[in-house]
Amino acid sequence: MQGATRQGQKRILRLVKSTDGVTSEQKPMIDSEDYYKQVERYADQIRKTRNADEIIRILDMVLSETRGLRADDEVFAAQEQIKRAEQKIETLKDEIEQLRGLVQTDQMTGAFNRRGLDETFIREAARADRNAQSLGVVVIDLDNFKQINDSLGHQYGDSILINFVAVAKETLRPTDIVARFGGEEFVILLPDVAVEDALTIIQRLQNNLAKSLSIQIDNQSMPVTFSAGVALRSFGEHQNSVISRADKALYQAKRTGKNRAIPALA
């Protein structure tokens, strides 16, 4: 009779806190079906949000609960369901990586978009302050881009933007970041760089772009060029402030002949 009662009971999973030097505190027991439904709810929450921070928070909750699962004799037969839950979490991780890429990336060029730039700037600025390092911020605007669009069409203009990002990624250092700021304007982050070195990097990019891309307008071949303003972020300086300084230097470059990079005032 007692054995029949045990067979009729629902198999359960026991959740416990990890024991990092602290006495374990037992959480209430939940059955395996409820746990699996809970994982499904987490998956649904992830699919409904485009906020990367919220996605990471949800995933942390899933992983925390899964790591707290402990099998005993009563749940030995539920191991297959635990395995399914782990596979579901791996699927969620893949979804998060894909969604993070969509949220942070300009889909046409493959560069970071404004959201990606914002999140990357926060990370790089914190690293620069923590290590007492500089952070170069470059604002770039492709020269004569309206003329290119008007003469050759927007599809051709789009191909110029795509190729600019490709040349930038080939030219820049592995630690540098390129983001599309809007239209034909881009922002490049150069971690741990002196202003002279930043100017050298950008001038190299200008040369490589001119060699790689040229256009035919009015039966004349013209290299694709850009103007740039280069600023070094001060300790604790906000993103808007340093971009504004670089932007002012960019417009000075535009006014004084284009196809040049000018350092910003401190």
| Residues with catalytic function | 184
Q: Is 49 buried (19+), middle (13-18) or exposed (0-12) by CB count in 10 A?
A: middle
Q: Is 140 buried (19+), middle (13-18) or exposed (0-12) by CB count in 10 A?
A: buried
Could you give the CA distance from residue 131 to residue 148 in angstroms, rounded to a whole number? 43
Rg (alpha carbons) of the chain, rounded to whole number: 27
DSSP state of 27: P
Q: Is 13 buried (19+), middle (13-18) or exposed (0-12) by CB count in 10 A?
A: buried
- Which secondary-structure segment (H or E) carries 102? helix 79-104
Dihedral sign (CA 6, 12, 18, 22): negative
Amino acid in the structure at residue 249: A
Angle value at C-alpha 203, between 157 and 132, nearest 5 degrees: 115
